[in-house]
Amino acid sequence: MRFFHISDLHIGKQLHRYSMRSEQEDILNKIVCAVKKEQPDAIAIAGDIYDKSVPSAEAVALFDHFLTVMKEQAPQVPLLIIAGNHDSAERLDYARELLTKNQVYISGMPPRTEGEYLKKVTLQDAYGAVNFYLMPFIKPFFVRSLLKESDTLTYDAAVRGVLAREQIDRTERNVILSHQFYVAGGSRPKTSESEIAVAGGIDEVDVSVLAPFDYAALGHIHRPQKIGKEQYRYCGTPLKYSVSEEHQAKSITCVELKEKGTEPVITQIGLEPLRELRSLRGTLSEVLSLATEENKDDFLSITLTDEIDPYQPKERLMEVYSHILEVRVDNARTRRILSEAVEELKLEDPVEVFAQFFENMQARPMSEAEKRVMTEIFAKAAEGEANG
């Protein structure tokens, strides 16, 4: 059994002020070509189909086109799809009975009532059955009443609770599709700037929950990487969705499962974008002189290092480069401003900073008693600092 693992398509995404429609159409076509060429037994798409929970008509049309072309080019290949945190579960579930008849299996919502379970799709090969469990993005409140839990239910406990209800036959091969922030005993995956960060790490789920699975096809983190074990993998986005991803190689993850108990064989199929993303740094005249036929239409993040601010730098850059994402200035003056800003932040009252964080997390302000406790703690910490 050999299957493709992709995720985080973020269809409809804008990169700064540029639409990525042509880049996304191009990369989806390249994925279809790879499927036609390699003939995998299935395609797993681990969430964040769309960039927004209410995608634009254009975005919906593009995903529709992708499914249609995929079904024309590789009609026998099942598509397994879960919702991510960016998708609206209800919208993604639209027409799912009809799609199921065409071997497009979509799971938007986790189970919410007694009789409901994760969607399970079983495929066969020479070694027997492979069960794919489709676990869409879970927020604790989605499953709180199902698990008969209070409002203190954590992400970790929510995912654990949902999986504990499933009858997973450990003598067969099992694969899970999931879209959560997995950590391995406290070690976190390497993130990028295009993911939505949740402060305080409350969305973390430990990979120990994935123990029943021979492979975990994960989505959510945009840089391809394993987490904890070789077979627990984030495949990453098919395109670079932030400047922080400049040096990441994007790819389709290809997974080969043989008999139960053997390690899956994991390879990458590289994905080349229509338009590269890169950063350029130097004085205005240096950056202008770097322009070539090759790079002038790339997505660019430009940092100017002139000590004397040049005249109309943006306008002059735009005459040469067509897709400028941002122009930053890094010289003695801006560095001075930054270090002053850092000084200013340090002077803020730590109790107030914490109170803000507390309110964001708990959706209520701290009580006077709680504030007193925190004030004491910070005072003790400050004493400790003063004493050495």
Using CB under 5 A as the criterion, which residues of the chain lie in contact with Mn ion when the complex forms?
8, 48
For Mn ion, give the closer residue by CB, 174 or 237.
Answer: 237
Nearest-CB residue for Mn ion:
48
Tell me the one-letter amino acid at 112: R
Specify burial of residue 65 (Cβ count, 10 A radius: 0-12, 13-18, 19+): middle
Name the minimum Å distance from CB 209 to Mn ion: 20
The residues, any chain, with a CB within 8 Å of residue 240's CB and separated by 6 or more, are 246, 248, 250, 273, 277, 299
For Mn ion, give the closer residue by CB, 48 or 214.
Answer: 48
CA distances from 247 to 276, 352, 387 (A): 11, 38, 45
Name the minimum Å distance from CB 237 to Mn ion: 7
Name the minimum Å distance from CB 137 to Mn ion: 10
For Mn ion, give the closer residue by CB, 23 or 48.
Answer: 48
Question: Residues, the chain, total?
Answer: 388
List strand residue ranges (DSSP E) for 143-224, in order.
Answer: 173-178, 181-183, 204-206, 215-218
For Mn ion, give the closer residue by CB, 86 or 173.
Answer: 86
Name the minimum Å distance from CB 10 to Mn ion: 6
For Mn ion, give the closer residue by CB, 132 or 234.
Answer: 234
Name the minimum Å distance from CB 203 to Mn ion: 13
For Mn ion, give the closer residue by CB, 106 or 284.
Answer: 106
Name the minimum Å distance from CB 273 to Mn ion: 17
Report the DSSP beta bridge partners of residue 255: 3, 266
Q: Give dist(CA 282, CA 264) in Å, integer.
A: 46
Tell me the one-letter amino acid at 18: Y
Q: Give dist(CA 275, CA 190) in Å, integer.
A: 24
